[in-house]
Amino acid sequence: MRARRTRLVAALAASVALVLSACGGGGGEDQLSGPSVDVEVDQDAQFEPGTTMAELNQRGTIRIGTKYDQPLFGVRGLDGQMQGFDVEIGRIIAGKLGIPPDRIQWVETPSQTREEVLEQDKVDMVIATYTINDNRKQRISFAGPYYEAGQDLMVKADDNTITGPESLRPTGAKVCSVTGSTPAEEIKKYVDPANLVLFDVYSKCADALRTGQVQAVTTDNVILLGLAEQSGGQFKLVEKPFTEEPYGIGIKKGDVQFCEFINQTLTEAAQSGKYEQAWRATAGKVAQQTPQLPQLDPCV
C-alpha cells in the first residue's frame, strides 16, 4: 500500500543532471540527459517484488533504446540533449518508475538492431518509431500502440513526377530506406531491387536525396516530416500514406506485467494531458493534428 505519494517536477531533476554529468555520468555511446517538458517523478513508487518495474525502480536508472537522428521523434543534439516524442514517452514511463529524466540512459538504436538489443539485454525498452507487427512479436513483445503513422515518400521540393508509390517504377526513380524497417520491405512491391538503396539510418537517405543519388526517401510520414522540416524547404512529402504503422514500445518477450504497467502509464498520461503536452512540445511543433492515444493492444 502506498502511504504517501510525493511528486517531484523534473525541473529539479535537471539541476541534478548537471551535477551528475560533472561527476562523469554517461560516456561511450550512451547518454544521460535532462528533460524538456515537465515530467512527474513518482518518488514513492512501489512494485511487486520480482517484477521488471521493481527491479528498475530499485536500480534507479533505465536504459532506453531510441533513434538519434530523427527530428520530432528521437534526436540527440550536439549538446547531448535528447528530444522528440519518443524521448518524452520514455521520460513519462521512467517517471512512473520513480526514475528522473537525468537517470535515463539513452542508447542509440537504429532500426535493424531493435530486436537484438532487447534479446541481448542491452536495453530495458525500445521507443524508436517501432511498428508493431507479428514478425517482430516472435522475438519481442510490445506495449502500446502510442501513435499511428503511415508510410509515405519524400522528394525534392521541385519534383512533380513522383506522386505516389505507383509512380516510382515508371519514372525509374531510385528510392532510399533503412535496413530492418517495415517501409524497406513494403517498397519492394513498387521498385526493382537495383533501384532500392538501403542505409542504417534515415539521415543518410536525406543526404542521398540532397546530392541526387536517389530521387525519393521512403519511411513513416512523421519521420519524413521531421527530415523535410530540417531541410529548410529543399524536400517535401508526397502526402499519400499507403500503410499503417502503429508504434509500440518494445520490451523483452513475454513480460506481460511490464507491458500492462506501460499501457496503464500511457492511459494515465492521456487522461492527465501529459501525452498531449509531450506531443505539442515535440512533433506537434510541425505536425498539423494532435493525435489521441490509440486503442491499446492487450498484453500477451
**In angstroms, rounded to a whole number, what is the distance separating the alpha carbons of residues 144 and 272?**
17
List residues bridging with 108 in a β-sheet.
66
**In angstroms, rounded to a whole number, what is the distance separating the alpha carbons of residues 259 and 299?**
6
Q: Given the rule CB under 6 A, which of 50-58, 126-134, 156-164, 226-234 is the region that contacts ligand GLU?
A: 126-134
Provide the CA 162 distance to its chain's centre, in angstroms: 28
Q: Cβ atoms within 10 A of the Cβ of 283, count?
A: 23
When the beta carbons of 151 and 263 are compared against ligand GLU, the nearer one is 151
**In angstroms, rounded to a whole number, what is the distance separating the alpha carbons of residues 266 and 68?**
23
Give the shortest CB-295-to-ligand GLU separation in angstroms: 18
Cell 554529468 identifies what position?
21
When the beta carbons of 41 and 130 are compared against ligand GLU, the nearer one is 130
When the beta carbons of 20 and 237 are compared against ligand GLU, the nearer one is 237
Quick one: which of 131, 218, 263, 282 contacts ligand GLU (CB under 6 A)? 131
Quick one: which of 33, 52, 57, 111 contacts ligand GLU (CB under 6 A)? 111
CB-closest chain residue to ligand GLU: 181
Closest of 100, 103, 133 to residue 23, by C-alpha: 103
Query: b or e along 131-152 (b: 16 or more beta carbons within 10 Å of the residue's beta carbon)?
Result: bbeeebeeebbbbbbbbbbebb
Backbone angles phi, psi at 235, to 5 degrees: -120, 155
User: Is there binding between residue 203 and ligand GLU (CB under 6 A)?
Assistant: no
Give the shortest CB-205-to-ligand GLU separation in angstroms: 11
When the beta carbons of 42 and 245 are compared against ligand GLU, the nearer one is 245
List residues bridging with 147 in a β-sheet.
247
The residues in 220-249 that bind ligand GLU, with binding defined as CB under 6 A, are: 220, 223, 245
Provide the CA 33 distance to its chain's centre, in angstroms: 16
User: Is there binding between residue 115 and ligand GLU (CB under 6 A)?
Assistant: no
Quick one: which of 52, 57, 83, 181 contacts ligand GLU (CB under 6 A)? 181
When the beta carbons of 53 and 75 are compared against ligand GLU, the nearer one is 75
Backbone angles phi, psi at 164, to 5 degrees: 170, 175
When the beta carbons of 92 and 128 are compared against ligand GLU, the nearer one is 128
User: Is there binding between residue 279 and ligand GLU (CB under 6 A)?
Assistant: no
User: Is there binding between residue 219 and ligand GLU (CB under 6 A)?
Assistant: yes
Give the shortest CB-219-to-ligand GLU separation in angstroms: 5
List, in sequence order, the alpha helices (H) in 191-293. Answer: 202-210, 221-230, 256-272, 274-281
The residues in 182-201 that bind ligand GLU, with binding defined as CB under 6 A, are: 182-183
Closest of 244, 248, 203 to residue 224, by C-alpha: 203
Give contact residues for ligand GLU (rule: CB under 6 A): 111, 128-131, 178, 181-183, 219-220, 223, 245
